[in-house]
Amino acid sequence: MERVPILKIGDILLVSIQLDMSDQTAVQLQEDLAERIVDTGCHGVIIDITALDIVDSFVGRMLSTIASISKVLDAETVVVGMRPAVAITLVELGLSLNGIRTALNVERGMELIAAARADELDYQLDDDPDAETATP
């Protein structure tokens, strides 16, 4: 069975989907990804779908599920590289990828995750007045 490779770049896991997803591959990817997030302690997941010509409701649901799983494990998911034709088809079909953040390319996706992460850290620091004094 084919597996989708998961690459670690800094604090981010990069998943590039290059093949047509079947039920099995999708489930396998979800399991692998959850494992890798826990192992590496990454806080960001980028799913690159540049190579996908077709995004149907199945792939859409898979993306949503991955986003939810990552969310539970405290990692931000960004879907990048959606083709114009794919976006138009999704809109025409009335499918929306709820709860998924999107970016134009991997670079923008990494910026987005970094920004989200920075916001979160700021928030935590503001929240906890001891945090600043605790660090030397």
Residue 112 C-alpha from the chain's centroid = 11
Residue 67 beta carbon to another protein: minimum distance, rounded to whole angstroms: 14
The residues binding another protein (CB under 8 A) are: 78-80, 82-88, 90-92, 96-97, 101-105, 107-109, 112
Residue 93 beta carbon to another protein: minimum distance, rounded to whole angstroms: 11
Residue 23 beta carbon to another protein: minimum distance, rounded to whole angstroms: 24
Which residue, 80, 6, 79, is CA-closest to 40? 6
Which residue, 108, 13, 106, is CA-closest to 67? 13
State which residue, 35 or 53, has the beta carbon closest to another protein: 53
State which residue, 37 or 79, has the beta carbon closest to another protein: 79
Sequence-distant (≥ 6) Cβ neighbours of residue 100 within 8 angstroms: 63, 64, 67, 77, 78, 79
State which residue, 36 or 62, has the beta carbon closest to another protein: 62
